[in-house]
Amino acid sequence: MNQYTAQQWRRYTIRVGIYVALLLMTAIFLIPVYVVIVTAFKNPAEINLASTWQLPTELYWQSFSEVMAEFGPRFGNSVQLVIGATILSSIMGSMNGYVLSKWEIPGHKFLFPLMLFGMFIPYQAILIPLFEFMRDIDLYGGIPGLILIHVVYGLPITTLIFRNFYVDIPDEMLEAAAIDGAGFWKLYTDIVFPLSIPGFVVVIIWQFTQIWNEFLFAVTMTSNDAQPITVGLAQLAGGEAVKWNLPMAGAIVAALPPLIVYIVLGRYFIRGLLAGSIKG
Amino acid sequence: MKNNRDRSIAFLMLLPSLILLGIFVYFFIGRAIQSSMTDWGENPAQPPLSETVEISYVGLDNYVRLMTSFTESSFRVSLVNTFFFTIFFVAGCIMVGLFLAILLDQRVAGEGIFRTIFLFPMALSFVVTGTIWRWMLQPRGGVNILPTLIGLDPIDFAWVNSQETWFQFLWQDVPRILTFVGIGILLIMAVRYALNQRWRSMGFVAAAAIVGLLVFMAGAWDYIWPALDVPAAEPTIAPKGFNVALLGVIIAAVWQMSGYTMAMFIAGIRGVAEELREAARVDGASELGVYRYIILPQLNPIILSAMIILGHISLKIFDLVFAMAGPDNAKTIVPGILVYTKGFRANAFASASAVAVIMLFFVAIIIIPYLWTQLRSDDD
């Protein structure tokens, strides 16, 4: 009897310990969120180093309108960029995945790893030739050029996700339809595509967040009026005499679209995330 | 389904992607290697962006200059920074990620909410993370004044502005350090083989250690590790070691990425059959014992994958350092930033390309074997 309660006690303290640890980690993970929000809503006159942790005395929305005035066109640039690049790279990735998983292309065993290598390279390694190339084909500096860049460097991951998705569709299904006379396109439109809607959700979410958040191509491959939002944020926060309400409001604005997607469709986001480690 | 006409269509549909990646990955890499062996942007008589610029071949001069020249000491600092950043960042993400995964494996209430919270930084841009943490790590505010909220003294630490360098060593000593570490590892392996009575393996490893020592004593490093221009100046202008200014960047990076390792580990832990755990418990293993002896060994391949993925991310790190410390902070310089400042500010295209090729080299060493093993086991 005594021993039983002692064991119960032990289990009870372990449970409490687990929840304390979880809440502590939650607090650590959310501290930056607290700081961003209180700073973004403070009157700039209220912001100084000593008052970092205090709540604003009143909600000051003006930082957001100031940020949007500065960000406005860049937000639009990012939207155009993300829509164009995400749609194109998912369509091409789906086609590649279909071909690589269901059609035995000669040499596919070494073509696929060669394609995948493109998602691991440091993009600095191709940055200068890319700059020359974009200048030569007259696409340097604008949004169409940046879309092209993101489509191409998005191909490895979109191909990988779709290929792994299509491998699970049984070959017998396709073969049965093929006997009935279905060809390359009909097999895709009637069988493969309808089954790949979840695959498209994963890929679209992944590409959307990656391209929205990207900075290296954004800062090196665009001229002033085509810059995406990450470049705008870096400029807002760079420099020495910063009024911190603006970068914090800017960080919120820049983070919101991918965050909303993450919160609403988190499950699919995690699948994209784990796909990046090839097999998960 | 496998008739020739449809197969040709399939190949034609793959072709655009193959051509694009062929150009944008492999042709460009070739171009970068080629540019890195020229004087493009290094010759003052030839404006690098002019249509008529004349570029000549200079062999490995740019690489030699990066390794030896007084004026390129920031490149050497960037290599050392990447080394320390990688170690602390990877170790930090794996430890925090494992801790979170084990906590969430305890059938806790609200598990989904906790997971969402620990993973949300992964949805943010490194620029957003960098901006927020730059504000939090202001020397006279933010985290440093947290202790004052409970009446303690503020922390006196300059974070990204810190000028301190820990674990200092001389650049000239790197070959010696690498050799001794390498031989030390081989000797430890030899002892372990001896304890397991695997004499053949022990013989190989011990022989390798002796050959390594002999090659080192014969002065082999002098050929591949050229001497510095001004060795005496190196430790004063750019001491090598762990630049403490990186600490804040590492914390921000771990904050952002440890949810990723957590997600990988959760997937791995869930893959361990419940019967296996139950069997261990029946055999009298404690809860901790179950993790130590049943689950952790099964996670080894995932830990290795995580090390490789995170390691290659840290070799490429750019945006986070840019947003937190700016591109001109001498103490937090990394190769990714150097390519940007050299290539896109100073138009020193050839030496920027050389730095970029060195980055690619390090990434390739860890990624190519990884891709190879991943895809090979995929075929079974």
* Model confidence pLDDT, tens digit, residues B306-339: 999 999 999 999 999 999 999 999 999 999 999 9
Residues A9 and A113 in one domain: no
Parent domain of A146: 63-275
Residue A244 resides in a domain: yes
| Inter-chain touch A215–B353, beta carbons under 8 Å | no
Shortest Cα–Cα distance, B179 to chain A (Å): 28
Residue B58 resides in a domain: yes
pLDDT at B231: 87
Residue B50 resides in a domain: yes
The count of structural domains within chain A is 2
pLDDT at A280: 32
pLDDT tens by residue, A160-207: 999 999 998 999 988 889 888 888 999 999 999 999 999 999 999 999
Shortest Cα–Cα distance, B130 to chain A (Å): 9
Separation of alpha carbons A76 and A226, rounded Å: 9
Question: Token match 């914090």: residue?
Answer: A248
Longest dimension (CA), chain A: 84
Residue A94 resides in a domain: yes
Which chain B residues are closer than 8 Å to A122 by Cβ? Answer: 315-316, 336, 356, 359-360, 363
Closest CA to A103 of B18, B9, B19, B378: B9
Closest CA to B337 of B311, B318, B313: B318
Residues A162 and A24 in one domain: no
The beta-carbon neighbor of B352 closest among A128, A159, A212 is A128
Residues A139 and A196 in one domain: yes
Residue B380 resides in a domain: yes
Residues A142 and A39 in one domain: no
Angle (deg, nearest 10), helices A197-213 and A266-275? 80
Which chain A residues are closer than 8 Å to B263 by Cβ? Answer: 270, 273-274
Angle (deg, nearest 10), helices A2-40 and B73-104? 130
User: What is the DSSP secondary structure assignment for residue A44, as one 8-state letter?
Assistant: G
Q: What is the dihedral of CA A260, A261, A266, A272, to 10 degrees?
A: -150
pLDDT tens by residue, B87-121: 999 999 999 999 999 999 988 999 999 999 999 99
pLDDT at B2: 64
Parent domain of B375: 1-68+348-380
> b/e map of B283-305 (b: 16 or more CB within 10 Å)?
eebeeeebbeebbbeebeebbeb
Under 8 Å CB pairs connecting chains A and B tally to: 290
Which chain A residues are closer than 8 Å to B35 by Cβ? Answer: 128-129
* DSSP structure string for B236-269: HHS-EEEETTHHHHHHHHHHHHHHHHHHHHHHHH
Shortest Cα–Cα distance, A172 to chain B (Å): 11
CATH code of the domain in which A86 resides: 1.10.3720.10
What ipTM was estimated for this complex? 0.92
pLDDT at B324: 94
Q: Does B356 touch chain A (CB under 8 A)?
A: yes
Query: Mean pLDDT score of chain B, rounded to an integer?
Result: 91
Residue A216 resides in a domain: yes
Mean pLDDT of the A39-60 span: 86
Separation of alpha carbons A128 and B350, rounded Å: 9
Residue A280 resides in a domain: no
| Inter-chain touch A121–B35, beta carbons under 8 Å | no
Residues A100 and A15 in one domain: no
Closest CA to B327 of A213, A280, A32, A231: A231
Residues of chain A with pLDDT > 90, as a percent, come to 64
Residue A130 resides in a domain: yes
The beta-carbon neighbor of A32 closest among B11, B133, B363 is B133
Amino acid at B212: G
| Those residues with Cβ within 8 angstroms of residue A199's Cβ, 6 or more apart along the chain or in another chain | A94, A97, A161, A162, A165, A166
Choose the mutation target among B1, B5, B138 for the interface with A, i.e. most A CBs under 10 Å: B1
**Tokens standing for residue B110:** 């609200």
Residue A58 resides in a domain: no
Which chain B residues are closer than 8 Å to A107 by Cβ? Answer: none
What is the Cα Rg of chain B in Å?
A: 25
Separation of alpha carbons B213 and B210, rounded Å: 5
Residues A88 and A44 in one domain: no
pLDDT at B380: 44
| Inter-chain touch B116–A123, beta carbons under 8 Å | no
| Inter-chain touch A53–B132, beta carbons under 8 Å | no
Residue B6 resides in a domain: yes
pLDDT tens by residue, A196-225: 999 999 999 999 999 999 999 999 999 988
Q: Does B325 touch chain A (CB under 8 A)?
A: no
Q: What distance lies between CA A52 and its chain's CA centroid?
A: 30
Helices (H) and strands (E) in chain A, counts: 13, 0
Residues 251-280 of B with CB under 8 A from A: 255, 260, 263-264, 267
The count of structural domains within chain B is 1
Query: Mean pLDDT score of chain A, rounded to an integer?
Result: 90
Residue A241 has pLDDT above 70, yes or no: no
Residues A236 and A185 in one domain: yes
Residue A140 resides in a domain: yes
| Inter-chain touch B340–A270, beta carbons under 8 Å | no
pLDDT tens by residue, B255-290: 999 999 999 999 999 888 788 888 888 888 887 888
Residue of B nearest to A135 (CA): B49
Shortest Cα–Cα distance, B315 to chain A (Å): 8
Mean pLDDT per block of 10 residues along chain B (380 residues) reads 81 95 97 95 82 87 92 95 97 97 92 94 95 91 86 88 91 89 92 90 90 86 82 88 95 96 92 83 83 88 93 95 93 96 93 97 94 72
